[in-house]
Amino acid sequence: MKGKSIDVAVIGAGPAGLAAAIKAREAGAGNVTIIERAEAPGGLLFQCIHNGFGLQRFNEDLTGPEYAHRFIEKARDLGVNLLLSSMVLDIEADREMVVANSRDGLMSFQPKAIVLAMGCRERSRQSLFIPGTRPAGIFTAGTAQRYVNVEGYMPGKKFVILGSGDVGMIMARRLTLEGAEVKAVVEVLPYVGGLIRNEVQCIYDFDIPLMCSHTVISVHGQERVESVTVAKVDKNWQPIPGTEWDIGCDTLLLSVGIVPENELSLKAGVALDPFIGGPVVNENMETSVPGIFAGGNVVHVHDLVDNVSEEAEGAGLHAAEYATGKMRASESKITLRAGPNIRYIIPHSISGESDVTLFMRVKEPADKVRLSVGNIYSKALRAVRPSEMLKVKLTGDELARLDRSANELTVSCEQKR
C-alpha cells in the first residue's frame, strides 16, 4: 500500500519525537506524522513514574508521564498525526519508509523529511563479559522498571544492582519502596555513574549499600540466580585477588550503560559516530543523509529529558524547513574537536553563522575547571562529572569572535592553575 504524502515523518513518539513533531508543525510543515511502535506515545517516560522531570523547562517537578502528557496534548492540538502500534522496518534510498502494523499491513511512505527519534537501548550482560552460569533472574534495570511500574510484577525479591547509572539508582529506590531488598549497588568506577541528585535521593536517603571500585565477577545458580561474587577492582578495573565474596540474591540488575538505537539509521545510510553510536549531525541536527534529521537519545544519551526536548526541537524545526523548501543553505564547515577531558560534543560541526547550543560530556570528574570553546567562549566551573551533560550556548557575541577561515574549533575542560 502506498501511503499519503507526508511532509515530516518522525520515528518514535518519545519526548524527542513529540518535541520534534510539535516544532515541525509550528514551523509550518503541513502533514507531520509520528510513527511509534508502542501502543501509546511517551517512549521511555511512560515507565518513569518518579519525579524530577521538567525542572529546567517548566520550572516544575513532574513525573515522566506528566511531562510526556504536556507534549502529547500539544501535539494533538496542533494536528500532529500519530500512527501507533506501527514499526518502521526500513528506510530506503530517497527516504522511502517501510512501515508495518496489524491494521494496515505493510505500508510505504515517502516523506519530504524524516526525524530519527528512536531512543536508545540498555547494554546487556553479554557486552560486559560477566562469566558464570546463565540462570533466570538477570535483567537490565530498564526492563525491571517496566515490569514493576507498567506490568505490575516484581522480577525479584533480593537484588544486587551492577552499575550506578541513573536507571539503576532509580530502580534501587523503587524496589526498596516496593518492599524488596537491595543488597548492594556495585560500581566499577570510583564514583557513581549517574547524577548526584540520584545518588543522594535514591541511594543515601534509603541507606542502600553502595560499593564503588567493585564489580560482579561471577553469577551463580542453575535455574534462578542464587548469588553473585563481588570483588574490589584496581585502577585498571581488574578484580583484586583475595577481595572476593558472595552476596546471596535472586536477581541481578544491570545498569551498565545505554547505547543509541541506530539499526534503522544504518539502513538509511546515515553515518554514525563510532564512539557515541549515534548519527553524525551538523548544527541543524541534520545527518549525513540530506533530509534526514535526528534528535534525543538516538543521537547521544541524555540525562535530562528537558535537554532531549530542546535538542529535538532543533531537528523538528530544520526538518520542517527542509520539507517546505525554506532551509537556508548554511554550510556547517567548522568541525568541533574534543580537546582535553572532553568525551564528545554534539553537534559534530557548526556554520558559525547562527546561534547554536552545544551539548557535551567530560571524560572524568574534575574540580575548578575552565570550559572553553576555541578562543570564543570560556567559563569557569566549580565541578564537572561525566554523568552531567554540559551545555554551551554560542550566540552573536561569541560567534563574532570566530575566525572565519578556521575549519576547526577545539573544546576543552582544563583544570585551572
Partner 1 sequence: METQVLIIGGGAAGCMMARELSRYKVDVTLVEKRPDVGFGVSKASNGYLYWGMSWNVSIVLKSIVEQIGGATKEAEHKKEEMNRRGYELWKPLLTELDIPHLWTPVMQLATNPAELRLLDMLEKETVARNMPYRRLNKEEILELEPNVTDKVIAGLYDDSHGWYNVYPWEQVIAVAENARQNGIKFMLDTEVIGFSKNGGFQIVETTRGPIKTEFVINATGADAVHVARLADACDFSLQHFKAHTIITDKKTRNLVNGSVAILAGPGRLKSVNPVQSGNLLISSIYTPTDSPHDLGTDKALMEELFGMAQDVLPPLSKKDVIAYFAVSRVYSARNPDEYIIEFAPKNPRFINMVLRMPGFIPMPVIARNVVGMLSDHGLQMTKKDDFNPYRKRIPRFADLSSEERSKLIKQDPRYGHVVCRCETVTEGEIVEAIRRGANTVDGVKFRTRAGMGRCQAGFCGPRVVEIIARELNIKPTEVTKNGGNSWELLCESKELLTTRKAVLA
Ligand X SMILES: Cc1cc2nc3c(=O)[nH]c(=O)nc-3n(C[C@H](O)[C@H](O)[C@H](O)COP(=O)(O)OP(=O)(O)OC[C@H]3O[C@@H](n4cnc5c(N)ncnc54)[C@H](O)[C@@H]3O)c2cc1C
Q: Per CB under 6 A, does 15 bind ligand X?
A: yes
Q: Per CB under 6 A, does 160 bind ligand X?
A: no
Q: Per CB under 8 A, does 367 bind partner 1?
A: no
> Using CB under 8 A, which of the segments 96-104, 109-117, 315-323, 343-351 binds partner 1?
96-104
Number of residues that bind partner 1 (CB under 8 A): 55
What residues from 330 to 389 belong to the interface with ligand X (CB under 6 A)?
A: none
User: Considering only residues 32, 44, 107, 113, which one is a binding residue for ligand X as defined by CB under 6 A?
Assistant: 44
What is the contact mask toward partner 1 in residues 116 to 155, using x (rule: CB under 8 A)?
-----xx-xxxx-x-xxxxxxx-xx-xx--xxx-xxxxxx
Beta carbons of 15 and 71 less than 8 angstroms apart: yes
Beta carbons of 247 and 227 less than 8 angstroms apart: yes
> Using CB under 6 A, which of the segments 112-120, 225-233, 320-328, 349-357 binds ligand X?
112-120
Strands 51-53, 87-91: pairing kind: unpaired
Residues 6+ apart with CB under 8 A from 49: 63, 64, 65, 149
- Best CA proximity match to 186, nearest among 120, 101, 99, 128: 128
- Best CA proximity match to 165, nearest among 120, 133, 129: 120
- Best CA proximity match to 253, nearest among 188, 192, 164: 164
User: Considering only residues 93, 223, 235, 396, which one is a binding residue for partner 1 as defined by CB under 8 A?
Assistant: 223
Amino acid at 344: Y
- Best CA proximity match to 102, nearest among 82, 118, 87: 87
Q: Per CB under 6 A, does 142 bind ligand X?
A: yes
- As given in the structure block, the three cell numbers for residue 203 are 541511594
Three-state DSSP at 297 gives helix
What residues from 251 to 280 belong to the interface with ligand X (CB under 6 A)?
A: 264
Nearer to partner 1, 196 or 266 (CB): 266
User: Considering only residues 105, 241, 242, 325, which one is a binding residue for partner 1 as defined by CB under 8 A?
Assistant: 105
- As given in the structure block, the three cell numbers for residue 66 are 506528566
Residues 6+ apart with CB under 8 A from 399: 352, 353, 355, 376
CB of 362 vs ligand X, minimal distance in Å: 19
- Which positions touch partner 1 (CB under 8 A)? 1, 37, 85, 87, 89, 98, 100-106, 121-122, 124-127, 129, 131-137, 139-140, 142-143, 146-148, 150-157, 178-180, 217-218, 220, 222-224, 250-251, 263, 266
